[in-house]
Amino acid sequence: MSVHVGTSGWSYRSGKGTWNGVFYPATRSKRRGTAGFDELRFYAEHFDTVEVNTTFYGQPRAEVTAGWAARTPARFSFALKLYQKFTHPKMFREAALTSAPGSEGVLLDLLAEVTRSDVDDFRGGIEPIARAGKLGSLLAQFPPSFTSTPASRDYLARLLRLFGDYPVAVELRHRSWSDGVGDTLQLLNAFQAAWVHIDEPKFPFSIRQNALPNVTGFYYMRLHGRNAAAWWRHERAEDRYNYLYSAAELKEFSETAAAAKALVKKVYLYTNNHFAARSVVNAVMLKAQLGDPIEGEYLPEIVDRYPEIRDLVAKPWKSGRSGRSGKVDEVDEVQEVSLM
């Protein structure tokens, strides 16, 4: 089985790091209800999996995820981030305060507590993807502030129990989880949850990991880039992902993924250094190193900007192919924003 390589998010339409004019055509039509350019369809011509960020910022809606399932090939799979209320309660509180100023106190604390209704809403929202057989994994991504304590371990066990009938990958950032590696593995393995292996700038509190799979069901790796200078201090959030891995740097991850696929049923490898489609470029380079075919056509602009893939990709994209108009129509989807 080949490794499934994709990017974290597929739609980055604003900012200096936009994908428009790099991976996607720059021209964008304002017309609605027309059969124009579809970012997800185009993306799925190049990669067979994607990690979805929008399910973090709001509970997924079945009518939206059904559209995602319908617009992708049968072999395509989605990794869906859990809603922020499940993993980032502080961020959820801040968002609630922004939408409803003055709601501090007991009421907000109660609102931030995870309920069975929250779980049911998430499960209902992703059901079309699960029913279509396109759910690769759920991603429970925790912040560095989520440290290994009895209370946090109990909470993680509860969360894994609530979503126990789905494959779940768990991303932990704080070093306390790797310092207590035995307890962490015991917890994750009890629920057959994959421990996400991450590459990012390292700080004293950063998690330390080896590259070994912890379960046989699947292996999950995320590459965030190594822009340490902009990781905590930046003008815009996208700046921290302004990093392009070299071929030599990627070799470590392609070799790890190739070895892991002999030990597990599925391997997922996602690039999250999304600034100006650098994640796309590195995903192409990883596929090439793994010996996987490079599918789809690429704009001349991305090849000119990133000569690293000049000899790897197919002929330049041509307008009008596969029913594409050459103009990008706005679609009713939430802008993908990465949260590390």
Return the pLDDT at 118. Answer: 94
Assigned domain for 339 exists: no
SS3 labels along 324-337: CCCCEECCCCCCCC
Is 335 inside any structural domain?
no
Q: 67 lies in a domain?
A: yes
* Per-residue confidence (pLDDT) for residue 209, from 0 to 100: 94
- Looking at the structure of the chain, the number of domains it has is 1
Q: Which residue has the higher pLDDT, 90 or 11?
A: 11
Adjacent-strand bridge partners of 8: 51
pLDDT in tens, 54-68: 999 999 999 999 999
- Asked if residue 270 lies in contact with residue 7, where contact means CB atoms within 8 angstroms, the answer is yes
How confident is the prediction for the chain on average, in pLDDT? Answer: 88
- Residue pair 295/45 in contact (Cβ under 8 Å)? The answer is yes
Closest CA to 129 of 188, 176, 66, 171: 66
Domain assignment of residue 17, yes or no = yes
Structure tokens at 117: 């209704």
Q: What is the CATH number of the domain that holds 234?
A: 3.20.20.410
For residue 114, the model assigns a pLDDT of 83
Inside any domain, residue 336: no
Mean pLDDT, range 274-280, rounded to an integer: 98
* Structure confidence at residue 88 (pLDDT): 87
The helix (run of H) or strand (run of E) holding residue 65 is helix 62-70
Per-residue confidence band for 27, with pLDDT thresholds at 50, 70 and 90 = confident
Residue 121 placed within a domain = yes
- DSSP-assigned letters across all residues of 307-329: GGGTTTS-SBP-TTGGG--SSEE
Asked whether residue 199 is assigned to any structural domain, the reply reads yes
**DSSP bridge partners of 221:** 197, 269
Query: The pTM is what?
Result: 0.88
pLDDT tens for each residue of 170-194: 999 999 999 999 999 999 999 999 9
Residues 160-163: contacts with CB under 8 Å, at least 24 apart: 160/187, 160/188, 160/191, 160/193, 161/191, 162/119, 163/82, 163/119, 163/123, 163/138
The tens digit of pLDDT for each residue in 201-258 reads: 999 999 999 999 999 999 999 999 999 999 998 999 999 999 999 999 999 999 999 9
pLDDT value at residue 325: 37
Phi, psi for residue 211 in degrees, rounded to 5: -100, 15
- Distance of alpha carbon 244 from alpha carbon 24, whole angstroms: 19
> Which residue do the tokens 């350019």 mark?
37
Which residues are paired to 135 by β-bridges?
78
H or E element in which residue 6 lies: strand 4-8
Strand bridging mode 77-81 / 135-141: parallel
Give the separation between CA 132 and CA 226, rounded to whole angstroms: 36
Q: Is 193 contained in some domain?
A: yes
Instruction: State the residue range of the domain holding 136.
Output: 4-329
- Distance between CA atoms of residues 295 and 5, nearest Å: 12
**Ramachandran region, residue 95 (left: φ > 0; alpha: ψ -120 to 50; beta: rest):** alpha
